[in-house]
Amino acid sequence: MFEWGGGCLWCGNEAALEKFDVGSLEEVLPLSTSIREQLDKLSAWHDQALSWSNPADVSPWNEDEFERFENAANAMRLQLQAELGADFEIVYVPLGKS
C-alpha cells in the first residue's frame, strides 16, 4: 500500500511487525536493486495522484491514469512475491481502499 510522500511496503500482520517493527520495509527486505528502483518510481508516480496544494481537492488523475497505476502496482506485487518467495505474503491495497 502506498503512502503519500514515500513508502509502499508495510507490515500487515503481527508476525511481520514482530520481525520488522513499524515503518516502510523497502530498505529492510532482501530486494534486488532493480525492484527497489521500480518501487521508487511507483512511489513517485503514486504521489502525482494527490493535489499537493490542496489534498482535499479532486485528484489530478483521470480514470485511465488510475487504471494504469493499478495495473503497474499489481504487476509489481507479482514481481515482489516472486522475488521474496513463499515466506512472504504480498497484498496490494488499491488506491482509495484501506
Q: DSSP string spanning 11-51?
A: --SHHHHHHH-SS--TTTS---HHHHHHHHHHHHHHHTTS-
Q: Report pLDDT for 96.
A: 65
pLDDT above 90: residue 1: no
pLDDT above 90: residue 46: yes
pLDDT above 50: residue 68: yes
Q: In the predicted model, what is the mean pLDDT of residues 29-57?
A: 93
83 contacts 31 by C-beta, under 8 angstroms: yes
- Domain boundaries along the sequence of the chain: 14-84
What are the grid coordinates assigned to 74, written together? 499489481
**Cβ neighbours around 9 below 10 Å, total:** 25
**Cβ neighbours around 43 below 10 Å, total:** 19
In whole numbers, what is the pLDDT of the chain averaged over residues? Answer: 88
Q: Report pLDDT for 34.
A: 96
Which residues have CB under 8 Å from 29's CB, separation 6+? 9, 84, 88
Grade residue 11 by pLDDT with cuts at 50, 70 and 90.
Answer: confident
Q: Report pLDDT for 18.
A: 83
Q: In the predicted model, what is the mean pLDDT of residues 37-47?
A: 94
The CA-atom distances, in angstroms, between 15 and each of 21, 84, 86 are 10, 16, 14
